[in-house]
Amino acid sequence: MTLSETLVIVVPALPAVAAAAIAVARPDGERSSRWGVGAASVAFAAAIVVAVVVAVSGPVAAVVEGGDGDALVGLHATRVTALVGLLTTGVGLVVQSFAARNLQGDLRERRFFGLASLLTAATTSVAFAATLGLLGAAWIVAGLALAALVTHRSTWRPARRSARRTLRSLWVGDGALLVATLLAVVSIGEVDLRSPAGAAEELANASIPVLGGSVLSVVAVLLTVAGISRSALVPVHQWLPATIAAPTPVSALLHAGVVNGAGVLLVRLAPVFGSSAAATHLAFAAGAVTALYATTVMLVRSDVKGNLAWSTAGQMGFMTVQVAIGALAAALLHVVGHGMYKAALFLGAGNAVTAHLHHEQRPPPHVVAQSVRLGVALLVPAAALWAAYLVFHPHLSTAARVLVTVFAWATAARAADGWLRSAPFRPVPAVATAAFGAAAGVLAYVGGLTAVETFVAPALPAEVAEPVSAALLVATLAAIALVVAAVWLTPGERMRTLRSRVFALVLTSAPVASRLTTRGSSTGVAPVPESRSLRPGVEPATRST
Partner 1 sequence: MSNRDNDHRGRSARDTELLADVSRASDIIAPLWPLTSFVAVNPLLGLQHLPFDEATAVARRWLRARTHLTLAAFREAHGRGAITDADLRRAIIEVDSKLASQPSLEIGERTVDAVEIVLLDLLVGPDDKPRETAGDRVGRTDVGTVRTVSQLVAAWCAVFVDEAGVAWPMPRREHGFFRAWRELAQHDRRLRRLAGPTGMQWLAQLPDDPVEALATSLDALDVGDDRVEALREHLGRLPGWAGYARWNDEWALPNHHRPPLHLVDLLAAQVAATAAAAHGPAAPQPPQHQDQGVEELLEQRAAAVLAALGSTSEDASVTSAVRGVLQQVPPPVRKSMWLEAQEGNFRDRLLGLLSRPDPGPVTERPDVQAAFCIDVRSEGLVRHLQACGPYDTFGFAGFFGVPVRWRPLGSPESQPRCPPLLTADHEVAEQPLVPDDALGYLTAQRAAGAGHEAFHAAKGSLGGPFALAEAAGYLLGPAAAARTLAPGLLRRLTGLRTRRVGPPQTRPTVEAEHDDSSGLALEERVSFGEAIVRTMGLTRFARLVVLCGHGSHNVNNPHASSYDCGACGGAPGGPSARVAVAILNDPGVRAGLQERGIVVPDDTRFVAAQHDTVSDEVTVLDREAVPDSHERLVATFERDVAVAGERLARERAGRLPGAPGKVRVRGHDWAQVRPEWGLAGNAAFVVGPRSITAELDLACRVFLHSYDAEGDGDGSALETILTAPLVVGQWISAQYYFSSVDPDQFGAGDKTLHNPVGGIGVVLGEGGDLQVGLPAQAVGVGERRMHEPLRLFAAIQAPLERTEAIIQRNQVLQELIGGKWITVAGRSHGGEHWSIRSPDGTWTTWCPADDGVDHTNTSLEVR
Q: Of 394, 395, 397, whose CA–CA distance to 466 is shortest?
A: 397
Q: Residue 537 CB, nearest distance to partner 1 (Å)?
A: 4
Q: Which amino acid is at 341?
A: Y
Applying CB under 8 A, which part among 141-149, 179-187, 420-428, 456-464 lies near partner 1?
420-428
* CB closer to partner 1 out of 138 and 331: 331
- DSSP string over 8-66: HHHHHHHHHHHHHHHHHH---HHHHHHHHHHHHHHHHHHHHHHHHHHHHH--EEEEEE-
Distance of alpha carbon 95 from alpha carbon 117, whole angstroms:
11
3-state secondary structure 485-499: HHHHHCCCHHHHHHH
Backbone angles phi, psi at 74, to 5 degrees: 150, 180
154 touching partner 1, by CB under 8 A: no
106 touching partner 1, by CB under 8 A: yes
Among 57, 210, 354, 390, binds partner 1 (CB under 8 A): 354
Q: Residue 471 CB, nearest distance to partner 1 (Å)?
A: 20
Give 71's DSSP letter.
E
113 touching partner 1, by CB under 8 A: no
- How many residues bind to partner 1 according to rule CB under 8 A? 140
CA 336, 340, 345: angle at the middle one, nearest 5? 150
198 touching partner 1, by CB under 8 A: no
- Please tell me whether residue 364 adopts helix, strand or coil conformation: coil
Distance of alpha carbon 418 from alpha carbon 441, whole angstroms:
14
Among 3, 64, 356, 436, binds partner 1 (CB under 8 A): 356
Applying CB under 8 A, which part among 154-162, 175-183, 224-232, 455-463 lies near partner 1?
154-162
Among 39, 116, 245, 323, binds partner 1 (CB under 8 A): 245
493 touching partner 1, by CB under 8 A: no
Among 154, 207, 214, 509, binds partner 1 (CB under 8 A): 509
Give 107's DSSP letter.
T
Distance of alpha carbon 497 from alpha carbon 482, whole angstroms:
19
Q: Of 135, 93, 110, whose CA–CA distance to 253 is shortest?
A: 93
Backbone angles phi, psi at 73, to 5 degrees: -155, 155
Q: Residue 147 CB, nearest distance to partner 1 (Å)?
A: 16
- Find the Cα–Cα–Cα–Cα dihedral 46, 51, 55, 59, rounded to 10°: 80
Among 69, 491, 492, 527, binds partner 1 (CB under 8 A): 527
Distance of alpha carbon 128 from alpha carbon 8, whole angstroms:
8
Return the residues of window 26-65 that contact partner 1 according to CB under 8 A: none
Distance of alpha carbon 209 from alpha carbon 215, whole angstroms:
9
* CB closer to partner 1 out of 197 and 484: 484
Among 1, 56, 359, 371, binds partner 1 (CB under 8 A): 359
CA distances from 499 to 300, 310, 416 (A): 12, 19, 27
* CB closer to partner 1 out of 24 and 357: 357
CA distances from 201 to 110, 191, 211 (A): 46, 11, 20
Q: Residue 93 CB, nearest distance to partner 1 (Å)?
A: 8
- Packed helices 277-300 and 304-324: angle between N→C axes, nearest 10 degrees: 160
Among 414, 428, 479, 486, binds partner 1 (CB under 8 A): 414
Q: Residue 74 CB, nearest distance to partner 1 (Å)?
A: 30
Burial tier of 324 (Cβ tally within 10 Å: 0-12, 13-18, 19+): buried
398 touching partner 1, by CB under 8 A: no
Among 348, 391, 428, 486, binds partner 1 (CB under 8 A): 348
Torsion sign, CA atoms 237, 243, 244, 245: positive
Return the residues of window 362-391 that contact partner 1 according to CB under 8 A: 362-366
Among 123, 151, 248, 260, binds partner 1 (CB under 8 A): 248
- DSSP string over 498-515: HHHHHHHHHHT--GGGGG
* CB closer to partner 1 out of 128 and 239: 239
545 touching partner 1, by CB under 8 A: yes
Q: Residue 396 CB, nearest distance to partner 1 (Å)?
A: 14
445 touching partner 1, by CB under 8 A: yes
Q: Residue 429 CB, nearest distance to partner 1 (Å)?
A: 10
* CB closer to partner 1 out of 245 and 283: 245
Among 1, 56, 462, 541, binds partner 1 (CB under 8 A): 541
534 touching partner 1, by CB under 8 A: yes
* CB closer to partner 1 out of 26 and 414: 414
Q: Residue 458 CB, nearest distance to partner 1 (Å)?
A: 22
Among 72, 73, 406, 474, binds partner 1 (CB under 8 A): 406
Return the residues of window 291-330 that contact partner 1 according to CB under 8 A: 291-292, 295-296, 298-307, 311, 314-315, 318
Among 118, 130, 159, 399, binds partner 1 (CB under 8 A): 159
- Please tell me whether residue 330 adopts helix, strand or coil conformation: helix
Q: Residue 375 CB, nearest distance to partner 1 (Å)?
A: 16
Among 35, 98, 128, 139, binds partner 1 (CB under 8 A): 98
